Amino acid sequence: MQDQKEEALLCSIQSPADVKKLSLAELELLAQEIRERMIQVLSQTGGHLGPNLGVVELTLAMHYVFDTPQDHFVFDVSHQTYVHKLLTGRNDRFETMRQPGGLNGFMLRTESEHDSYGAGHAGTALSAALGMAVARDLAGGKEHVVAFAGDAAFTNGISFEALNNIAGQTRRLIIVLNDNEWSIDRNVGAIASYLHKIVTNEHYTHLHDSAARLIERFGGKAVRNVARKAEEAAKSLLWPSVLFEEFGLTYYGPLDGHNLPLMVETFRFLKQQDKPVLLHALTQKGRGFQPAMDKQKKFHGLGPYDPATGETKSAGQKTYSEIFAESLTRLADRNEKVVAITAAMPNGTALDLFRPHHPQRYFDVGIAEEHAVIFAAGMATRGFKPYCAIYSTFLQRAFDPIVHDVCLQNLPVVFCMDRGGLSGDDGPTHHGLFDISYLRGIPNIVHMVPKDEDELADMMYTAMLHDGPCAIRYPRGTGPGAAVKPEPVAIPIGKAEVVCDGSDVAIFGLGAMLPLAQEMSQALEREGYSAAVVNPRFTKPLDREVLASYARRVGLIVTFEDHVLMGGFGSAVLEALNEMQLAVPVVRIGWPDEFIEHGKPDALRRKYGLTVEAALLEAKPCLARIRRKQLVG
């Protein structure tokens, strides 16, 4: 009967209004059912399980007290909004999470009126929430704005830029600091240490009674029996000079973020405050699923798993990220000036494999991409060779430091851009489809794209030898499985590789798209055309010699790239041909000028025409001219 009751609870939630009809005891049952629902569904779809298991009670309490969509919840990163989606009319579609045509893994304004702000990167919630609060004040509104940010978000400079402005620009804003001590890996730096000191300060052992009275003020005697840290949490009374107070926010906490009655009464109390406030809530990432608590890095975000054991299927083949980390370790073994830098992504970039070998030359700077790049520039001025491992989509945040601090000074920093290209299920906030465009216009930089794992190792070695800035983009997941040579080989800067020669068509397949170029070549050969295949290797500088050689003798050039067409590799080819005054038709295959949704890469490529069939169709008029020329000849 209890299972039926629990099932009935979640099935009865069509909107947040239904949540408000429940008793606190029913909320506790609903929290259990939500956890079971997420564990079962995500075992099939994959997703951010650990973060969402950790915010069940907090999200329930927020919806119990506030009224979306009139009130606005702004989640930092927004990977922890699955509970929010379940409570806002999307339970019946929850199995479609991160599936083609289904629910997005992050907040999406077009998905629901309850999603007030879309996100996918850290450090956005406080600024966006402040913008909403100021807009409300100017319009004379009464709605509440709640910014929900993990402790890792406070390692991001944007969060502090927002903190610097909140008290001076709005009279009312609620910030929830969800403190679980993790981003993807365990948090690092002074901010993490500071929050830890708040939680573990010995003075709390003497303050049981005063804290209990504060909680009693919030919710009555019924909620006095809370966790020790929550019982002793009269922080705003004890530390008037606490960091957040210095920014003009009234601080409450730390409180037990899993104590539903306490959270409900606390939000009711904060809802009445006519001033900016910050609630410091302590939560456990992965709560309610032991495998997720035991392996927090793994269960931050993962693919399908066994819901009983948490075990995942091993891919067997090494990923590009792992090849990168192993190659960098070998370079560091031989060169004491090689250092590795990550922005809170040791697991995602696989630098956690590098760290044990060279712990003194490994630096995790937190979610601070701009700082990572300038930090690398500083090291480079003193003779070191920094390798910055940052996702292509996250490196966008550091564009100015790349230009101003690295390239302008021609410093030998290497940007290793994981997730270069489509990132599949994570969607438009994570697709690395713009880095060729945003980097190749910068003087001094060399931009490389490997065709396979071995070429990635060679490019990393080439970058180590090059006395200037370099960028290497490589895809998410596994490659073709090429064995990495024991000794890397330096590639001449700007030199392409001619895979096979031909006289009618020249097909340039950039990086992971080289197999499509080879497939098209074979299709053309079957139709009687002579087709060359070129592995460009460099988007900057282009191999103009090879390009000009084919432009003078073929009737068509085709380019394949896992990147937007606008400003991408194909555009670079067109520009070079124009500058060399060589007239030859060019068919460019790449992503259109729009944000690409989440989905399986192969399906998305078919949908948007990144296929051999689409290339042949577009090339048909040129192929007909080539055929007529063959017949005349």
pLDDT one-digit tens code per residue, 131-162: 999 999 999 999 999 999 988 888 888 999 99
pTM: 0.86
Partnered with residue 341 across adjacent β-strands are 363, 388
Calpha distance 462→456 (Å, rounded): 10
Q: What is the pLDDT of residue 297?
A: 62
Q: Please determine, looking at this structure, whether the domain spanning 2-294 carries the CATH number 3.40.50.970.
A: yes
Active-site annotation holder among 90, 285, 287, 476:
285
Residues with Cβ within 8 Å of residue 55, at least 6 apart in sequence: 80, 83, 148, 178, 257, 283
CATH 3.40.50.970 residue spans of the chain: 2-294, 320-473
Calpha distance 404→183 (Å, rounded): 29
Q: What is the pLDDT of residue 196?
A: 62
Of 103-107, 320-324, 512-516, 547-551, the one with minimum mean pLDDT is 103-107
Q: What is the pLDDT of residue 243?
A: 81
Q: If you average pLDDT over residues 544-567, what whole number do you get?
A: 98
SS3 content of the chain, % helix, strand, coil (to 5): 45, 15, 40
Does the annotation count 397 as an active-site position?
yes
For the cut 60, the answer to whether the pLDDT of residue 561 exceeds it is: yes
Does the annotation count 382 as an active-site position?
no
Q: Please determine, looking at this structure, whether the domain spanning 497-632 carries the CATH number 3.40.50.920.
A: yes
Question: For residue 252, what pLDDT band results from cuts at 50, 70 and 90?
Answer: confident
Q: What is the pLDDT of residue 195?
A: 64
Question: For residue 633, what pLDDT band results from cuts at 50, 70 and 90?
Answer: low
Calpha distance 447→494 (Å, rounded): 9
Q: If you average pLDDT over residues 287-299, what whole number do you get?
A: 73
Does the annotation count 285 as an active-site position?
yes
Q: What is the pLDDT of residue 182?
A: 52
- The C-alpha R_g of the chain, in whole angstroms, comes to 27
Q: If you average pLDDT over residues 9-21, what whole number do you get?
A: 94
Of 494, 514, 508, nearest to 454 by C-alpha is: 514
Q: What is the pLDDT of residue 183?
A: 46
Q: What is the pLDDT of residue 2?
A: 43
Q: What is the pLDDT of residue 194?
A: 62
Calpha distance 446→414 (Å, rounded): 9
Active-site annotation holder among 297, 298, 397, 473:
397
pLDDT in tens, 177-190: 998 865 445 555 56
Active-site annotation holder among 6, 181, 265, 369:
369
Share of the chain above pLDDT 90, in %: 74
Q: If you average pLDDT over residues 161-177, what whole number do you get?
A: 95
Q: What is the pLDDT of residue 309?
A: 83
Q: What is the pLDDT of residue 210?
A: 45
CATH 3.40.50.920 residue spans of the chain: 497-632
For the cut 80, the answer to whether the pLDDT of residue 111 exceeds it is: yes
Question: For residue 288, what pLDDT band results from cuts at 50, 70 and 90?
Answer: confident
Q: What is the pLDDT of residue 208?
A: 35
Fold that domain 320-473 belongs to in CATH: Rossmann fold (3.40.50)
